[in-house]
Amino acid sequence: MSTPPAPTPSAPRTSTSTSSSSSPSLLPIPPVLRRLFDAFPLLTYPPAALPARSPDLTSSPLPRLYVFAAPDSEGRDAPSFNPSCLKWQAYLKFCGVEYTNVPSSNHASPSGQLPFLLPAASAGGSAGAVGKALPARQLLSWAGPQSGCDLQAPEVAAVMELVDSRVRDAWLYALHLSPLHFPLAQSLYCHTAVPLVNALLSRRMRSSAAAELARTRSGVLTADEVYADADAAWAALEEILGGDEWFFGAQAPGLVDAAVFAYTHLVLGVRWDGAEAGVVTRLRACKALVGHEKRVRAVCGW
């Protein structure tokens, strides 16, 4: 039997020593790690593609307004069920700004709150051409003033305070803290496929609403007190509007009209039960406010 040839010794590796001598400040790579890196070279993979349902922001011809809306209302021109979002939807329409609605949640917002607006990409847009997300507080300056009244005037500030405090308190209490309307609030804001998650989200919303009301009110919170304050606010707004078409006699609707409409439209549109029927009873008696809500709907095409 013939003896197999002896294996030929491999040529010595000189790269390590050469590298070490040429770069004395670098530690030499241990042979074990070098063999591992040779067997599994470092690769840089291309960026992963966005999901198929993600919008192509670089080619969007219109600004995108991220609002609370039904999941199936992507791109549809429909009013939001959230007053804060609805106010800015209406205001942008007053300014003649065309936009597309994007159903979203606070978790998707850079500021933690909706709405926010993503301006359209510039012509020939690249990814860098997409505008920076604008929170609600910047939408007034971005869209431009659209009102004949001075928003800094004391009487205007008083109206906005009525809406943002007394009217808003009643809306929060009726929708989120009245057990009769827990199912309604959950159906509007909780859209996951897991019932337990929806229940937890609903409980978190109730806690947030209670905490917000506690910050603006002292003592024990009662429905009678909240709704009585809202009744007084509706009556005051009715008197301020009077026989004018728009608030403060403006020639066109502005931010004040959008703020009032955001609540009148939603309060009139909800079928309230039990004691919460009082939320809408006083408003229905305010003929000027009811007419104002109809005019705003006509201007917005809703």
Give the mean model confidence (pLDDT) for residues 44-63.
58
Q: What distance in Å separates the CA atoms of residue 74 and residue 71, rounded to the nearest whole number?
A: 7
Taking a C-beta distance cutoff of 8 angstroms, is the pair 259, 87 a contact? yes
What are the DSSP calls for 197-209, one per residue? HHHHHHHHHHHHH
Rg (CA), the chain: 30
Q: How many residues does the chain have?
A: 302
Q: What distance in Å separates the CA atoms of residue 128 and residue 176, rounded to the nearest whole number?
A: 41
Taking a C-beta distance cutoff of 8 angstroms, is the pair 29, 16 a contact? yes
**pTM score, two decimals?**
0.77
- List CB contacts of 266: < 8 A, sequence separation 6 or more: 81, 83, 86, 171
Q: What distance in Å separates the CA atoms of residue 223 and residue 181, rounded to the nearest whole number?
A: 14
Residue 242 has pLDDT above 60, yes or no: yes
Comma-separated ranges of CATH 3.40.30.10 domains in the chain: 59-122+133-143
Domain boundaries 59-122+133-143, corresponding CATH code:
3.40.30.10
- H or E segment at 102? strand 100-103
Comma-separated ranges of CATH 1.20.1050.10 domains in the chain: 154-300
**Band (75; pLDDT cuts 50, 70, 90):** low
Residue 129 has pLDDT above 50, yes or no: no
Strand partners, 100: 64
Q: What distance in Å separates the CA atoms of residue 99 and residue 77, rounded to the nearest whole number?
A: 9
Give the mean model confidence (pLDDT) for residues 115-144.
76
CB-count burial class (<10 Å; 0-12, 13-18, 19+) for 77: middle
Which DSSP state fits 175?
Answer: I
pLDDT at 5: 53
Please tell me the class of the 154-300 domain: mainly alpha
pLDDT digits (tens, 9 = 90+) for 170-210: 999 999 998 888 888 988 898 887 888 888 988 999 999 99
Strand partners, 64: 100, 118
Sheet of strand 64-67: strand arrangement: 100-103, 64-67, 116-118, 134-135
pLDDT at 279: 77
pLDDT digits (tens, 9 = 90+) for 3-40: 555 545 444 444 444 444 444 556 677 887 777 767 76
Vertex 239: Cα angle to 236 and 243 (nearest 5): 150
Taking a C-beta distance cutoff of 8 angstroms, is the pair 104, 67 a contact? yes
Q: Where is mean pLDDT largest: 197-201, 229-233, 269-273?
A: 229-233
- List CB contacts of 159: < 8 A, sequence separation 6 or more: 237, 240, 247, 256, 259, 260
Taking a C-beta distance cutoff of 8 angstroms, is the pair 297, 125 a contact? no
Question: What percentage of residues in the chain have a pLDDT greater than 90?
Answer: 47
